Chains A and B, each alone.
Chain A
Amino acid sequence: MATRYFGARVKRNEDPRLLTGRGMFVDDVQPTGVVHGAVLRSPHAHARIRSIDVAMAAALPGVVAVYTHADLPATLAAPLPKLIPHPALIHHKTQYALAPGIVRHVGEAVAFVVADSRYVAEDALDLIDVDYEPLAAVVDLEAAVAPDSPLVHDDMDTNVCAHYTQRVGDIEAAFARAAHVFTERFTVDRGTAAPMECRGVVAQWDHKMRQLTVWDSTQAPIPIRNGLARLLDLPQASVRVIAPDVGGGFGPKIMMFYPEEVLVPYAAMQLRRPVKWIEDRRENFAAMNQEREQIHDAQIAVDADGGILGVKTVFLYDSGAYIPYGIIVPIVASTTLPGPYRIPNYHCEFQAVFTNKTIVSPYRGAGRPHGVFVMERLMDRVARELNLDRTEVRRRNFIQNDEFPYDVGLIYQDNAPLIYDSGNYPAVFARALEMIGYERWPEQRARYRRDGRHVGLGVASYVEGGGIGPYEGCRVTVEPSGKVHAATSVGTQGQGHFTSFAQIIADALTVPVEDVVITTGDSGAMSWGTGTFASRAAVVAGNAVALAAQAVREKALKVAATTLEARVDDLELRDGQVSVRGSTERSLSLAKIAVAANPLRGTIPQDWEQPGLEASRFFAPPRGTFAGGTHAAIVEVDVATGMIKILKYVVVHDCGTIINPMILEGQIRGGVAQGIGNAFYEKLIYDENGQLLTQTFMDYLLPTAMEIPEVEIDHIETPSPLNPLGVKGAGEAGVIPVPAVFAQALEDALQPEYPIRISQMPLSPNLLLQMIQRQ
């Protein structure tokens, strides 16, 4: 093979299109005759709808239709589907397409207007008269579990919808014999993923063909297709869902269903006209799922040397008004907490709680940042109390390389045992310390201090579970033109699948990477799949791509062997040509083989499996892969303002073999930026009535190029034994430990003059300043 693309910094195939304004995002879909939807949203966190009068709205010129709950067919009037049930989830309450009489959070959909333009549709929203009877709202997470709390769902006698405990070993015995037990409370508040593209749906119904086409900015187009077919009583073959270019996902763009994902297709079928709904930013803040709110009461038991004997966390998880996505986030928080440390006795227990706030579902990290924040803060506490170096206490507790596969003893989010497949935590940690200059840090810190500067260092490690099943698939086709097409079942939101998957195929078929055309996120191109979430696309779809490409390679040799009258063993594939070894004349291009593989007459051998130079393969991993990493940062605090400046940020990351380091580093850097937002700038604030006070980018601060530093990255590659490529997930690595790193660095910067203790995230300049001033 002339070039090997796997592992190389291959420039992205998708870039020329995206750079020249030729991307195809949902809002760029402009069918002839399209009409525009707008959603009337609840202004109350909790209210009974006494009546809705839509007459004036319906009479407005340009309005095509107005829908309320009463107008919906039974399948759409019922609660929307329950995703991911769990035995511990007793009250699996899901959201409605349109509120049936009670609204339970600000932003909940109440009515849907379709009009000639979005402008007129929004005018019509103002003309809908809803008579609300406000009900008592419960907003605060702890208040929601108090005995006298208002109830979010009045058919329950509590707001707790799940109570789940996992235990490893004997935690009571561990605590009883421990030299030290330390107890702390940690809180993490809400944020939003804020993809630059808000959500959007376009639907077109061809009544004669009975064919529904939906463009949806979703991370999971195939499950959306399956669900829509069921809800709209159509065969799956009559529904095609396309996730075209998606302008960032980060978790919340997978839900099945957001109300608009059923309302827009339903209206398109009813009206027999294409319907478009594009979420605006204000809507996005209230109507797209949020994440992060948890309160942990945690304890760590250690021996006299700081060796961990046991860890216990009991926490509350705020699910918002409904819990469609189940208890994935708190399970991930529980199971990420142990991280790279040997914890022989562990108790994790949570209650998932309804509040009158926007629904919570995974946002990049999805519980992992919480687990790591709790664990790393506990390690810092141990170091401080035992007067140990913070890196030494960690080194003493790392899982060692000869302990893999390492069974943590828990059940992970995929219902499979939590077994770390491989890793090299001490080496990753050591490399990060080297890059941040830990050895010289005491002198450097002292030097800063002599100059009157408050500068601190933070370092934290994590294990990132990803690459979970159930499966993904890929079909690779060499067309008679010689062009290679591949369709995969996952969608893409910027992760570079058009390139990384093409690299895998180009290597197998010895063709230029830019000649491999990938289709992602189109249920019309690939009918089976789940979606892009949980850091799994490169692992699960990537391995399906590799298997399919390998099968096509083998088939090319088989077909060529027939045509060239040679033995397969005597053939070689090079530069897209199959030839008999040692002969330049007896040779066939992949294009010619593709023609030969699909004859119009005659017979095809049974071992060709199917006609054409094509193969489909699925990959179903036995359980998840577990990547690891360490972040370290040097952060300066301005004690007069509470503002910070990140002087250095390093990441050492191990996600197994690397397909494309450029893409991987991009994933990590983007994650770190979101983590910095989560740690210091971004916070969704609700008032006591459940009104969201941060509904613009003026109030909710996304970090800019001024706040995000350069991130230095190094990789250690410990392949996963669980898949042929040896890869692990990496999508969430950047974001996971940032709050933990920040907390440690800020405390380090401010000791000893300002002995602050950080146990909450996110912080903000104001909050940090208050903490400093209280000292």
Chain B
Amino acid sequence: MADPPTSIRRVTVRVNGREHSREVDVRLTLVDFLREALALTGTHVGCEHGVCGACTILLNGEAVRSCLMFAVQADGAEVTTVEALGTPERLHPLQEAFRDHHGLQCGFCTPGFLMTAVAFLRETPQPTDEEIREVLSGNLCRCTGYQGIVEAVRDAAERLRTQGPGLESTE
């Protein structure tokens, strides 16, 4: 260990509409910052090498892997996590669709799929099944065999077209 991790920097991030400012170790990953410093444990850590997608969040509206970024790299950014989508009492249309189509079992990968799909559907409101499968192939699920997830995203596209997005209020 050549260089002891003593570098501390201040990072200011707007997360789910609220500004947070913290002193952090420069090597702290963004996902650990969200989960530990801000106690937003909805974002999960599945592989820490950017393949599984469980840690997917929106950074300035784009779906990114929060395990592959340091918290300091998000300084000044706008972050959206699964906690901003809906509540148990009032699910987001995408979350409703996941429930209706059994798009989750253990629920560990689910927040990552939701954030990937939210960003995708905003850019591609009328996706084909092939497009859905392709975008979802960046996230791994070990429980469902993906079918319920694909159906949920297809259905959510329809719901979002007819019911409106429902995420704007949180950003």
Chain A residues in contact with chain B, CB under 8 A?
A: 11-12, 14-23, 25, 27-28, 30, 119-120, 123, 126-127, 193-198, 245-248, 250, 278, 280-281, 493-496, 662-663, 665-666, 669-674, 696-698, 702, 704-706, 708, 710-711, 734
Chain B, interface SS category: loop
The answer to the question of B71 belonging to the interface, with a C-beta cut-off of 8 Å to chain A, is no
Contact call A197/B44, Cβ cutoff below 8 A:
yes
CA distance A23 to B43 in the complex (A): 10
B144 touching A194 by the CB < 8 A rule?
no
- Pairwise interchain contact A711-B145, C-beta atoms closer than 8 A: yes
| A710 contacts B147, C-beta separation under 8 Å | yes
What sequence of 0s and 1s flags, for each residue 133-146 of chain B, a beta carbon within 8 Å of any chain A beta carbon?
Answer: 11011111111111
Q: Report the stretch among B58-66, B79-87, B120-128, B163-171 that lies at the interface.
A: B79-87
Q: How far, in angstroms, from A248 to B44 measured CA to CA in the complex?
A: 13
Contact of B107 among A27, A194, A494 (CB under 8 A): A494
| Chain B residues proximal to chain A, CB less than 8 Å | 1, 4-5, 25, 27-28, 35-36, 39-49, 51-52, 54, 81-83, 85-89, 91, 95, 98-100, 102, 104-111, 114, 132-134, 136-150
The residue that B133 contacts in the complex, of A195, A250, A278, A705, with Cβ under 8 A, is A705
Partner of B49, one of A21, A697, A734: A697
Contacts of A194 in B (CB 8 A): 142
B48→A280 contact, CB < 8 A: yes
Let me know if B133 and A706 touch, CB within 8 A.
Answer: yes
User: What are 15 A-B pairs at a CB distance below 8 A?
Assistant: A16-B91, A19-B91, A20-B82, A20-B87, A27-B45, A123-B4, A123-B5, A127-B1, A196-B140, A247-B109, A665-B102, A669-B148, A696-B49, A705-B136, A708-B145
Residues of A within 8 A of B54 (CB): 196
Residue in contact with B150 in the complex, picked from A12, A119, A495, A705, CB distance below 8 Å: A705
Asked if residues A123 and B46 are in contact (CB atoms below 8 Å), the reply is no
Q: How far is the CA of A664 from the CA of B28 in the complex (A)?
A: 41
How far is A734 from B146 in the complex, measured between Cα atoms in Å? 14
Flag if A666 contacts B102 (CB, 8 Å): yes
Within the complex, what minimum Cβ distance (angstroms) separates A28 from chain B? 4
Q: Which residues of B contact A669 (CB under 8 A)?
A: 144-145, 147-148
Complex Cα distance, B140 from A495, in Å, reads 18
Closest Cβ–Cβ distance, residue A648 to chain B (whole Å): 13
B110 lies within 8 A of A18 (CB): yes
B106 lies within 8 A of A696 (CB): no
Contact B1 A15 (CB under 8 A): no
* A22 contacts across to B, CB distance below 8 A: 42, 88
Query: Nearest 7 pairs between A and B by C-beta?
Result: A21-B42, A247-B108, A494-B106, A18-B107, A494-B105, A669-B145, A16-B88
Chain B residue with the shortest CB-CB distance to A249: B106
Number of A-B contacts defined by CB within 8 Å: 190
The answer to whether A15 and B104 touch across the interface, beta carbons within 8 angstroms, is yes
| CB atoms of B107 and A126 under 8 A apart | no
**Bound-state Cα–Cα, A14 to B138, Å:** 25
Most-contacted residue by chain B among A14, A21, A670, A704 (CB, 10 A): A21
A196–B46 touching, CB < 8 Å: yes
Q: How far is the CA of A281 from the CA of B52 in the complex (A)?
A: 10
Contacts of B27 in A (CB 8 A): 119
Q: A247-B108, A704-B137, A705-B149 are in contact. List 4 more A-B contacts (CB 8 A).
A: A119-B28, A278-B45, A673-B145, A705-B132
Contact A711 B43 (CB under 8 A): no
- Tell me which residues across on chain A come within 8 A of B106, comparing CB atoms: 18, 195-197, 245-248, 493-494
Q: Which residues of A contact B25 (CB under 8 A)?
A: 119
Residue of A nearest to B98 (CB): A19
Which residue, B25, B98, B106, B149, has most C-beta atoms of chain A within 10 A?
B106
Which residue of chain B is the closest to A250 with respect to CB atoms? B142
Assuming A28-B41, A197-B108, A697-B52, is B143 touching A21 (CB within 8 A)? no
Q: Which of B42, B140, B143 touches A697 (beta carbons < 8 Å)? A: B140
Which residue of A21, A23, A250, A702 contacts B140 across the interface (Cβ within 8 Å)? A702
Q: Using Cβ atoms and an 8 Å threshold, which residues of chain B touch A494?
A: 104-107, 143
User: Is there an interface contact between A674 and B142, defined as CB atoms closer than 8 Å?
Assistant: yes
Find out whether the CB atom of A195 lies under 8 angstroms from the CB atom of B85.
no
B47 touches A697 (CB 8 A): yes
* B36 CB contacts on chain A under 8 angstroms: 30
Chain A residues whose CB sits within 8 angstroms of the CB of B1 once the complex forms: 123, 126-127
Chain A residues whose C-beta falls within 8 Å of the C-beta of B46 in the assembled complex: 196-198, 281
Choose from B39, B105, B108, B149 the contact partner of A25 (Cβ within 8 Å). B108
In the complex, are the beta carbons of A670 and B145 less than 8 A apart? Answer: yes
Whether A21 contacts B48 by the Cβ 8 Å rule is no
Residue pair B143, A248 in contact (C-beta under 8 Å): yes
Contacts of B110 on A, CB cut-off 8 Å? 18-19
Most buried by A among B102, B111, B142: B142
Q: How far is the CB of A631 from chain B (nearest CB, A)?
A: 13
Give every chain A residue within 8 A of B39 (Cβ-Cβ): 30
List chain B residues, Cβ under 8 A from A120: 5
Who on chain B is nearest to A34 by CB? B36
Check B145 against A196 for contact (C-beta < 8 Å).
no
CB B167 to nearest CB in A, in angstroms, measures: 13
Residues in A with CB closer than 8 Å to B49 are 281, 696-698
B137 contact set on A, CB distance < 8 A: 704-706
**CB-based nearest B residue for A662:** B102
What residues on B are CB-neighbors of A27 within 8 Å?
35, 41, 44-45
Contacts of A245 in B (CB 8 A): 106-108
Pick from A15, A28, A196, A669 the residue with the most CB of B within 10 Å: A196
